[in-house]
């Protein structure tokens, strides 16, 4: 990474529980490709002031994580179709004071479902109803999945998400099973919920594919239990690598090679 200088472009992330994964991923590629950029993670005390800071400093771009993916919508100037379609933001790009919001989560989920060859005939339990869950639900619908149940304790948000995509809703797993189970909640994430397993062993045993979007740690209790049960798994580390790659392109205009992305992803998780 170049020595800090006045012409260096700053990119940041805004998350309630920031990690070093994105920071290491982006800075590794900046250094590898000789770009005059630096990336730093933040846990904002006030999301409105944080977004105002992006505009005022100016900061080139920002990744947006839970729980701010919907809260930033009224704070930006332009909603790209990728964000507008699902009313959820995970990336903000600052072009001379104009803040444009994108969603690269959808791209990541859609690509992983395709790359892992998950049949759209699978029944699905999707646990969560926030901004990331919207991206997952949209990707499932667009891939042709129809037998999807949203599991969310908040009936208002759970039913709203289910109705938006023509899916079912229930307030808890309650012994339900499905071919594909997906966790889109903080359960299993480093911090207060890191020991929580988002689906029980019986539900895992009945599944064919287990998908956890939690990126830190990549081996969540859910993923560990699924590996033990010899299930096909899709991890949050895979999600964050793809969505971070797309963010990197939006910030810099440079598309790294697949090998460079793989190296950066491995480096970020060490």
> Would you state the pLDDT for residue 245?
95
Query: Would the pTM of this model clear 0.75, i.e. be above it?
Result: yes
List the beta bridge partners of residue 153. Answer: none
Lowest mean pLDDT, pick from 26-35, 93-102, 143-152, 260-269: 260-269
> Would you state the pLDDT for residue 45?
96
Q: Are 129 and 138 in contact (CB under 8 A)?
A: no
| Relative orientation angle of helices 21-33 and 258-269, to the nearest 10 degrees | 140
Q: Is the dihedral of CA 122, 128, 129, 132 positive or negative?
A: negative
Q: Are 102 and 77 in contact (CB under 8 A)?
A: no
Active site residues: 69
* pLDDT tens column, 82-137: 899 899 999 999 999 999 999 999 999 999 999 999 999 999 999 999 889 999 99
Locate the domains of the chain by residue range: 9-102+238-269, 107-234
Q: What is the rounded CA–CA span in Å between residue 178 and residue 232?
A: 14
Candidates 126, 159, 131; CA nearest to 141 is: 126
Candidates 107, 77, 69; CA nearest to 93 is: 77
Helix extents (H) in 143-217? 155-165, 201-206
Residues 263-270: what's their mean pLDDT? Answer: 90
CATH topology of domain 9-102+238-269: Rossmann fold (3.40.50)
Q: What is the rounded CA–CA span in Å between residue 77 and residue 187?
A: 33
> Would you state the pLDDT for residue 215?
85
* pLDDT tens column, 31-80: 999 999 999 999 999 999 999 999 999 999 999 998 899 999 999 999 99
Residues 164-185: what's their mean pLDDT? Answer: 96
Q: What is the CATH number of domain 107-234?
A: 3.40.50.720
Cβ contacts of 260 within 8 Å, gap of 6 or more: 29, 32, 33
> Would you state the pLDDT for residue 263?
96
CA-angle at 160, arms to 221 and 191, nearest 5°: 25
- Are 9-102+238-269 and 107-234 the same fold in CATH? yes
> Would you state the pLDDT for residue 262?
93
Helix extents (H) in the chain? 21-33, 47-56, 81-84, 105-115, 131-142, 155-165, 201-206, 221-228, 236-252, 258-269
Res. 140: pLDDT tops 80: yes
Give the DSSP letter string of 76-102: -SEE-HHHHTTT--SEEEEETTEEEEE
């Amino acid at each position: 990474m170049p020595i800090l200088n006045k012409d260096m472009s700053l990119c940041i992330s805004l998350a309630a529980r920031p990690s070093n994964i994105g920071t290491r991923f982006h800075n590794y590629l900046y250094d590898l490709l000789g770009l005059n950029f630096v990336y730093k993670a933040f846990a904002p005390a006030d999301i409105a002031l944080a977004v105002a800071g992006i505009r005022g400093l100016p900061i080139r771009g920002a990744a947006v994580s839970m729980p701010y993916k919907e809260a930033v919508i009224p704070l930006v100037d332009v909603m790209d179709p990728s964000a507008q379609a699902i009313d959820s933001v995970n990336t903000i790009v600052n072009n001379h004071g104009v803040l444009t919001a994108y969603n690269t989560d959808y791209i990541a989920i859609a690509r992983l479902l395709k790359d892992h060859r998950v049949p759209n005939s699978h029944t699905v339990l999707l646990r969560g109803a926030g901004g990331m869950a919207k991206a997952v639900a949209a990707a499932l619908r667009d891939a042709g999945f129809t037998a999807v149940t949203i599991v969310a304790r908040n009936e208002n948000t759970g039913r709203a998400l289910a109705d938006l995509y023509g899916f079912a809703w229930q307030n808890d797993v309650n012994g339900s099973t499905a071919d594909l189970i997906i966790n889109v909640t903080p359960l299993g994430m480093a911090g207060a919920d890191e020991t929580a397993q988002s689906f029980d062993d019986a539900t895992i045993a009945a599944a064919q594919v287990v998908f956890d979007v939690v990126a830190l740690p990549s081996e969540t209790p859910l993923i560990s239990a699924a590996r033990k049960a010899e299930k096909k798994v899709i991890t949050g580390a895979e999600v964050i690598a793809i969505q971070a790659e797309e963010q990197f392109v939006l910030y810099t205009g440079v598309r790294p090679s697949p090998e460079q992305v793989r190296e950066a992803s491995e480096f970020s998780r060490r």
